[in-house]
Structure 1
Amino acid sequence: MTEHKVKAYAATSATAPLGPYPIKRRQLRDHDVEIDIHYCGVCHSDLHTARNDWNWTVYPIVPGHEIIGKVVAVGSKVSHYRLGDTVGVGCMVNSCGHCAACDEGFEQHCHTGATYTYGWPDSSEEGGITQGGYSEKIVVNQNFVLRVPDTLDMAAAAPLLCAGITTWAPLQEAGIGPGSKVAVVGLGGLGHMAIKLARALGAEVTLITRSAGKEADALRLGASKVVLSSDAAQMAAVANQFHLIVDTVPYAHDLNPYLPTLSHKGKLVLIGYLGPLEPALDSVVMIMGGRSVAGSMIGGIAATQQMLDFCGQHGIGADIELIHMQDINQAYERMLASDVKYRFVIDMASLRNAG
């Protein structure tokens, strides 16, 4: 099979709206899987990359790393997948495969650098840069393709490839299960998945939010109560309770009010914010209580497959709003205004069928 052009949507500069931009997908190699993309989730990382908020974007850029589709071709040495399988591709499409991190199943922490699904150097791709899931097709090494359980709705499964694994990883690392008490800070795309997964694992879940009016949604998703972070009395009432706090807030914020709510040896894990912490952490509360603050980024391939299988067994998908590819720029503006419950997912038939 030769390299071929496919329809896609790309940003051509930090200020240009996304629009149609054909790209080439590589020739199928021995261990590659070619996927017809049916659905692609919309992540805040897509928006940040399209607008070069992190100062590393190479244009043109096709975002999208929450990819669900069907296998339409396989390389001669592919053993994991067959034509017609429902599969997913998340935030990574390759890694070195032999460093200590990769050997332990943490490809996202590859010592030589994982290859991410879009905007990342890759000599095998046109222009030497990976391009993501806002497109008709993608070609990926079988080791970075994930099997999607048939019990899951394909569209609702798309955000599991980023929001799902990002929240699953700290829950698993902390050994969360029956008897655990988990707090989730923030109720957005990440927060709603953290509540669903923690509850399904058997934990008692509390939403901590600065905004009133979230109680009905939080309880529907699986939380047992809601605490307003701006209410000192409510925060004091949950002191020393939580084994784990999953902090999904995507901007700099004061972590100090949350630390006293951790139990002895409890941990607060940042999954939404990248950057310096302001104000500084008060180490007294950590040292005296054996508490810690850590960070977590997505998860390895094995952990992602474990998460998908768990979601398939428990019927867990994201709460989504399905959109057409042609509406992506409006979706970005709505994301900035927090006007989505809780993830946009693109129906890629809208791109495939466009003139």
Structure 2
Amino acid sequence: MTPVDEFSLIRLLTGGKQTNAFQQEGGVAVGIGDDAAVVNVNSGTQLILTCDTMTEEIHFKRITMPDRDVGFKAMASAVSDIAAMGGLPRFALISLTVPAGNNVERVRSMYEGLYDCAGRFGISIVGGDTTSSAGGITLSVTVIGETPAGQALLRSSAQPGDVVFATGYMGRSAAGLEWLLRQNLPSEQWDESAGSEHAKLVEAHCRPLPQVEAGLALSRSGVCHALNDISDGLSSEVWEIAEASGVSIDLLEERIPIAEELRAYAAAQGRDPLEYVLTGGEDYQLLGTAAAEQALALQQALGEAGIALHVIGHVHSGPAGVRLIRSGGDTLTLERQGYNHFKDRKDGE
């Protein structure tokens, strides 16, 4: 393999991936090729800016994700932060660090995944940076979104009397990761037939879909108060809302949705599927609160748009805290558990 220099690599990764017409329609005045990008923003609009980083051997391994999925997930993770604010993602910047003498095909695959995810949500990739490293690959994605002024949904807006809701299923990504680690095979050697019964779990881990449409619908509803995305496990995200809002939250175990494929996998491991839901993370579903009297109408409105909304708890006044009301009626004080970037490694040591 012949190494390429920085500028050749940039041309290889960005040339023709998004047409000028596509970018101009998305509001790009000046795209890749100058010192910085220039974009048009509507008046009466606030920008939402976020950045997310994935590092080889910390956030992904060759045995847990194909390179194309690494790129897809890096974009999805950042886009999910925009969705969690009820915003519309518009533009992205990519920073790539690769070892000297980089494997061009690996990087090309990652960029295919980046563009795949960006294209699904109408996001224009407008620039970034590349540099070399002595270690593995690091991929950092910055996404800029927008929302009508004053309408961003915050973690700190939960109110006593609200219901707590979640979109979709949780815990599947963690189960998919666990299964992949046990196989301990490079992604090129994955036997799809052997893993077919766990395909939904693996897909949930490798190619999660941020809930942009749900976030926009919740913002437009006018009855959603707090919102967060589930990146570090349900327990951790509920705690973030409780602390930021200064409220107490009760989760109802019997109301938390569990996918059948997760139930089957957890049973085979002799584990409670709720463990994966509470502490797993990387599902990128949305967690939030809404006025109780409007909850049913909100649930029906989102359902008509094809978005599942599950009421899973209640908000109370009092010191910040989270309790789990078990199906049998027992009450469990829920500790703040989930992935911590400075203590854990998602894909093992």
TM-score (norm 2): 0.28
TM-score (norm 1): 0.28
Higher relative contact order (CA 8 A, sep 6+): 2
